[in-house]
Amino acid sequence: MTIPFLDLGSLHESIRKDLDGAIARVLDSSAFAGGRYVKEFEDAFAAYCGTDYAVGVGNGTEALWLALLALDLPADAEVITVPNTFIATIEAISFAGTTPRFVDIDEATYTMDPKLLEAAVTPKTGAIIPVHLYGQLAEMDPILKIAEKHGVPVIEDASQAHGAMYNGRRAGSIGLAGCFSFYPGKNLGALGEAGAVTTNDPDLAARLRSLRDHGQSRKYHHDAVGWNARMDGIQGSVLSVKLAHLDYWNTLRQEAAAQYDDLLDGTNGIVLPYSRNKHGHVHHLYVIRTSDRDGLAASLSADGISTGIHYPVPIHRTNAYGHLNLANGSFPVTETVSAEILSLPMYPGLSRDQCERVADRIRASVLPAGKPS
């Protein structure tokens, strides 16, 4: 019996009739590009996040890119984010014509270390993008305080945190804007590519709607140079169906995470994930640390258990960002953990038996004594 890293098939089978119905409604109406089903989803998702607006786009990378473009930053602007994230966060900064500037992460939460943020702010700082990684929000209060002091907008990368909470507020409702990916494997995933930007700012929402649709407010009347970044009608329709299940699915993830926590508690040689608040963490991923990460991954794989690494190469050490000339040692926490983190199977519906098998196998593996570095 193998244990997959993620099981989308069973999840979709559980709501198959509703998904078929959602696709059929779009076929019946021919509202394929944008249109009423996208609008319905935008309204429902904004209400869910607790924001006034949500603007549907083609994917999460476009959500980040268009949110930055909508800020109209000067050409020499810098955008601060973390090197421990999916590369899309940084690509958006590059494609908005701005320069990425990194701050290291906090070792407990793997998100932006607010203690290091202020030193990275310069007169050129145009925006700050904390990334809510693995299902947990970055430490937003101190980040917002520093941002406000310097008059810099905060854009949340909430692509791994649909439904996650921070002091009573949902991911995507805390900064000036929240950027979401609905890539199929995310906590809320489309049946293809999709994304959205949430905000309470009506002007920002209007600029985003224009940017995603060739800068037009009326058909063929173009007020600005935009792009085609509309959400597909089918994705909007399907996402409305799936949104209704998001809280339940997040609860199932939290239950699986609590089982891993229980079963692995006190195991020599591994560090378990830290949750600032058990109810606020939606466990997009369940990430442990061990100094023989590759050995453990191989041992689990030999037993039919799939794992992942998020992410093996810090962004400043990728070939794509070699031109930034950021040597090894620039961001020591990110660099250290990138060699030690391992994502265990995690998805809604992961059973107690499956968690037990994973935990048994981890305990049976040869782990170096003591905590990793």
Ligand X SMILES: *Cc1c(COP(=O)(O)O)cnc(C)c1O
How many residues touch ligand X under the rule CB under 6 A: the total is 14
Nearest approach, Cβ of residue 233 and ligand X (Å): 18
Please identify the residue of the shown chain whose CB is closest to the bound ligand X: 60
Nearest approach, Cβ of residue 67 and ligand X (Å): 11
- Residues from 89 through 118 that contact ligand X (CB under 6 A): 89
Q: Tokens for 28? A: 């019946």
Nearest approach, Cβ of residue 190 and ligand X (Å): 9
β-sheet with 78-81: strand ranges across: 99-102, 78-81, 125-128
Please say whether the beta carbons of 183 and 193 come within 8 A: yes
Residue 85 interacts with ligand X (CB under 6 A): yes or no: yes
Nearest approach, Cβ of residue 162 and ligand X (Å): 11
Interface with ligand X by CB under 6 A: which range of 85-93, 100-108, 144-152, 299-307?
Answer: 85-93
Of 22, 31, 70, 131, the one binding ligand X by CB under 6 A: 131
Closer CB to ligand X, 89 or 365, in the complex: 89
Nearby residues of 58 by Cβ (< 8 Å), 6 or more positions away: 193, 194, 195, 212, 228, 229, 230, 231, 232
Site string for ligand X, 228-267 (x = CB under 6 A): ----------------------------------------
Of 71, 88, 105, 155, the one binding ligand X by CB under 6 A: 88
**Spacing of C-alpha 367 from chain mean position:** 30
Closer CB to ligand X, 60 or 269, in the complex: 60
Closer CB to ligand X, 197 or 359, in the complex: 197
- Residues from 194 through 233 that contact ligand X (CB under 6 A): 195
Cis preceding-peptide flag for 311 (omega within 30 of 0): yes
Interface with ligand X by CB under 6 A: which range of 10-18, 80-88, 218-226, 266-274?
Answer: 80-88
Q: Give the side-chain half-sphere CA count within 13 A for 114.
A: 13
Q: Which amino acid makes up residue 230?
A: R
Residue 183 interacts with ligand X (CB under 6 A): yes or no: yes
- Left (φ > 0), alpha (ψ -120 to 50) or beta: where does 221 sit? beta
Please say whether the beta carbons of 54 and 46 come within 8 A: yes
Interaxial angle between packed helices 293-302 and 352-364, expressed in degrees from 0 to 180 and rounded to the nearest 10: 120
The C-alpha angle with vertex 16 and arms to 10 and 22, in degrees rounded to 5, equals: 135
DSSP letters of 164-182?
-EETTEETTSSSSEEEEE-
Of 113, 156, 157, 340, the one binding ligand X by CB under 6 A: 157
Closest CA to 19 of 237, 205, 228, 204: 237
Interface with ligand X by CB under 6 A: which range of 153-161, 291-299, 301-309, 360-368?
Answer: 153-161
- Residues from 7 through 66 that contact ligand X (CB under 6 A): 59-61
Residue 159 interacts with ligand X (CB under 6 A): yes or no: yes
Of 181, 199, 290, 291, the one binding ligand X by CB under 6 A: 181
- For ligand X, the binding residues (CB under 6 A) are 59-61, 85-86, 88-89, 131, 157, 159-160, 181, 183, 195
